[in-house]
Amino acid sequence: MADMELMASIDIGAHSVRLLIAQVDTADGSYEILEDMEQPIPLGANVFNRGRISSQSILLMCEIFRNFRMKLDEYGVARYKAIATSAVREAANADIFIERLANASGLRVDIFEGVDNARLDYLTAVNSLPSKFGFYKRRTLLASLGTGACQLSFYDKGMIALTQTIRTGTLRILEQISETVSIPIPQLISPLVVRAFSELEHISDDLEADGLVMMGSSARALATISGKHKEETKALVLSRQEFHTLHAKLLRLSPPEIMRSYGISADLAEALIPCGVIARHLLNLTGVKNIAIPLTTTKDALLQDFIHDTLKKDDYFEPQILSLVARLAEKYHCNDEFSERTVLFAEKLFRKLEEIHGLSKKELLLLKIAAQLHKAGLFINNKSHHKHTYYLISSSEIAGLSGRQLLLAALVARYHRRSFPKTSHIEYMALLPAERSVVNKLASLLRLACGLAAACSPEARLGISISEDAVLLKPEYGTEALMDNNFIENDAAFFHYVFAKKIAFN
Amino acid sequence: MHMDNPRYINREMSWLEFNARVLDEAADEGTPLLERLKFIAIFSSNLDEFFMVRVAGINKQIESGATKFAHGYNPKKTLKMLDRRVRTLVSRQYRYLEEDIRPALADAGIVICAYSDLNPSQKDKLKKSFQKNIFPVLTPVAIDQSHPFPVIKNGAVELLVSLEPEQGGKERYAIIEVPEILPRFIPVENTGQRVVLLPVEALIAAHLEMLLPGCEIQECGMFRITRDMDISIDEESVADLLSEIQVEMQKKGRREVIRLELAKGLSPKARRWLEKKLDVTPQMIHGINGLLNLKRLLEITSLPGFANLRDQELPPLSSTQLDPEKSIFDNIRNEGAIVLHHPYESFTPVIRFLEEAANDPGVLAIKQTLYRVSGDSPIVRALIQAARNGKQVTVLIELRARFDEENNILWARELAEAGAHVVYGLAGLKVHCKALLVIRREPDGLRRYFHLSTGNYNDKTAKIYTDIGLFGCDKLLADDLSALFNVITGFAKPPAWRKLLVAPFNLKERLLFLIEREVSFSTKENPGHIIFKINSLIDSDIIDALYKAAKRHVRIDLIVRGICGINPYHIEKSAAARIRVLSIVDRFLEHSRIYYFSNNGTPDYYIGSADIMPRNLYSRIEILFPIDHDNIRTELDTIMKFALQDSRKGRRLTGPNRYSRTIKAAAQEKTHSQIRLYKFYQQKIAQRQEEAGETPDITVFRTPPSSIKPRLGTDKKDE
Q: For chain B, what is the total number of helices (H) and then of strands (E)?
A: 22, 27
Q: What percent of chain B has pLDDT over 90?
A: 66
Cis before B165 (ω within 30):
no
Instruction: Locate the domains of chain A by residue range.
Output: 4-112, 114-302, 318-505
CATH dotted code for B115-229+256-312: 3.30.1840.10
What would the pLDDT profile of B43-72 be if each residue is shown by its tens digit?
999 999 999 988 988 888 888 877 777 777
| pLDDT band per the 50, 70, 90 thresholds, residue A114 | low
ipTM: 0.73
Task: Give the H/E segment covering residue A235.
Answer: strand A235-239
Average pLDDT, integer, range A252-280: 85
Q: How far apart are CA B472 and CA B576, in angstroms?
A: 39
| Of the partner residues A23, A68, A74, the one whose CB lies closest to the CB of residue B445 | A23
Chain A residue numbers with beta carbons less than 8 Å from the beta carbon of B364 are 74-76
What's the CATH architecture for B502-692? 2-Layer Sandwich (3.30)
Q: What is the radius of gyration, based on Cα positions, of chain A?
A: 25
CA distances from A295 to A215, B298, B340, B579 (A): 8, 61, 40, 44
Predicted local confidence at residue A112, as pLDDT: 81
Does the fold of domain A114-302 match that of domain A4-112?
yes
pLDDT at B712 over 60: no
Tell me the CB-side half-sphere exposure of residue A118, using CA atoms within 13 A. 28
- Whole-model pTM: value is 0.82
- What CATH superfamily classification does B328-498 receive? Endonuclease Chain A (3.30.870.10)
Chain B positions contacting chain A at CB under 8 Å are 364-365, 392, 394, 421, 439, 441, 443-446, 448, 475, 479, 482-483, 486, 489-493, 495
Predicted local confidence at residue A78, as pLDDT: 87
pLDDT at B687 over 60: yes
- Identify the weakest region by mean pLDDT among B91-95, B357-361, B407-411: B407-411
Q: Judge whether A34 is closer than 8 Å to chain B, CB to CB.
A: yes
Shortest Cα distance from A65 to chain B (angstroms)? Answer: 9
The answer to whether A429 and A337 are in contact (CB under 8 A) is no
What's the CATH architecture for B12-108? Up-down Bundle (1.20)
Phi, psi of A211, deg, nearest 5: -140, 150
| pLDDT band per the 50, 70, 90 thresholds, residue B670 | very high
Q: What is the residue-wise DSSP string for A324-373?
A: HHHHHHHHTT--SHHHHHHHHHHHHHHHHTHHHH---HHHHHHHHHHHHH
The answer to whether B412 and B431 are in contact (CB under 8 A) is no
Q: Judge whether A3 is closer than 8 Å to chain B, CB to CB.
A: no
Predicted local confidence at residue B253, as pLDDT: 58
Task: Give the H/E segment covering residue A404.
Answer: helix A403-414
pLDDT at B1 over 70: no
| pLDDT band per the 50, 70, 90 thresholds, residue B261 | very high
Q: Which residue has the higher pLDDT, B125 or A90?
A: B125
Predicted local confidence at residue B166, as pLDDT: 64
| pLDDT band per the 50, 70, 90 thresholds, residue A14 | confident
Q: How far apart are CA A266 and CA A274, in angstroms?
A: 14
Predicted local confidence at residue B2, as pLDDT: 57
Contacts of A161 (CB under 8 A, 6+ apart): A139, A154, A155, A323, A327
**Average pLDDT over all residues of chain A:** 87
Average pLDDT, integer, range B90-98: 96
DSSP 8-state assignment for residue B198 = E
Residue B389's CB: how many other CB atoms inside 10 A?
Answer: 16
Q: How far apart are CA B220 and CA B280, in angstroms?
A: 20
What would the pLDDT profile of A158-210 be if each residue is shown by its tens digit?
999 888 888 888 888 887 776 555 555 677 888 889 888 888 877 777 788 99
Q: For chain A, what is the total number of helices (H) and then of strands (E)?
A: 23, 14
To probe the interface with B, which of A1, A4, A17, A267 has the most B CB atoms within 10 Å? A4
Q: Do A4 and B444 touch (CB under 8 A)?
A: yes
Average pLDDT, integer, range B455-460: 88
Q: How far apart are CA A384 and CA B520, in angstroms?
A: 81
Which candidate, A452, A449, A446, places its Cα nearest to that of A416? A446
Phi, psi of A14, deg, nearest 5: -80, -30
pLDDT at B251 over 70: no
Average pLDDT, integer, range A488-495: 80
Per-residue b or e along A129-141, where b marks 16 or more CB atoms closer than 10 Å to that residue's CB: beeebbbeeebbb
Predicted local confidence at residue A178, as pLDDT: 60
Contacts of A25 (CB under 8 A, 6+ apart): A2, A3, A4, A31, B445
pLDDT at A36 over 60: yes
Q: Judge whether A296 is closer than 8 Å to chain B, CB to CB.
A: no
What would the pLDDT profile of B264-288 be if each residue is shown by its tens digit?
888 888 899 899 989 898 889 999 9
Angle made by CA atoms A345, A347, A353, in degrees to the nearest 5? 95
Q: Do B445 and A4 touch (CB under 8 A)?
A: yes
Predicted local confidence at residue A486, as pLDDT: 63
CATH dotted code for A114-302: 3.30.420.150
What would the pLDDT profile of A386-409 be if each residue is shown by its tens digit?
999 999 999 998 888 888 899 999
Interface of A with B in 63-92 (CB under 8 A): 64, 67-68, 70-71, 73-76
Q: How far apart are CA A98 and CA A482, in angstroms?
A: 53
CATH dotted code for A318-505: 1.10.3210.10
| pLDDT band per the 50, 70, 90 thresholds, residue B168 | low
Instruction: Locate the domains of chain B by residue range.
Output: 12-108, 115-229+256-312, 328-498, 502-692
Q: Which residue has the higher pLDDT, B163 or B544?
A: B544
- B421 tagged catalytic: no
What would the pLDDT profile of B467-498 be if each residue is shown by its tens digit?
999 999 999 999 999 999 999 888 888 888 99
Catalytic-labelled residue, pool B341, B342, B432, B672: B432
pLDDT at A466 over 50: yes
What would the pLDDT profile of B415-437 be if each residue is shown by its tens digit?
899 999 988 877 778 888 999 99
Q: Domain A4-112 classified CATH 3.30.565.10?
A: no
Q: How far apart are CA B8 and CA B306, in angstroms?
A: 45
Predicted local confidence at residue B246, as pLDDT: 59
Does the fold of domain B502-692 match that of domain B328-498?
yes
What would the pLDDT profile of A325-377 be if each residue is shown by its tens digit?
999 999 999 999 999 999 999 999 999 999 999 999 889 999 999 999 999 99
What would the pLDDT profile of B597-617 be if each residue is shown by its tens digit?
999 999 999 999 999 999 889
Predicted local confidence at residue A72, as pLDDT: 93
Predicted local confidence at residue A289, as pLDDT: 87
Predicted local confidence at residue A173, as pLDDT: 86
Phi, psi of A6, deg, nearest 5: -95, 135
Q: Do B443 and A1 touch (CB under 8 A)?
A: yes
Predicted local confidence at residue B215, as pLDDT: 81
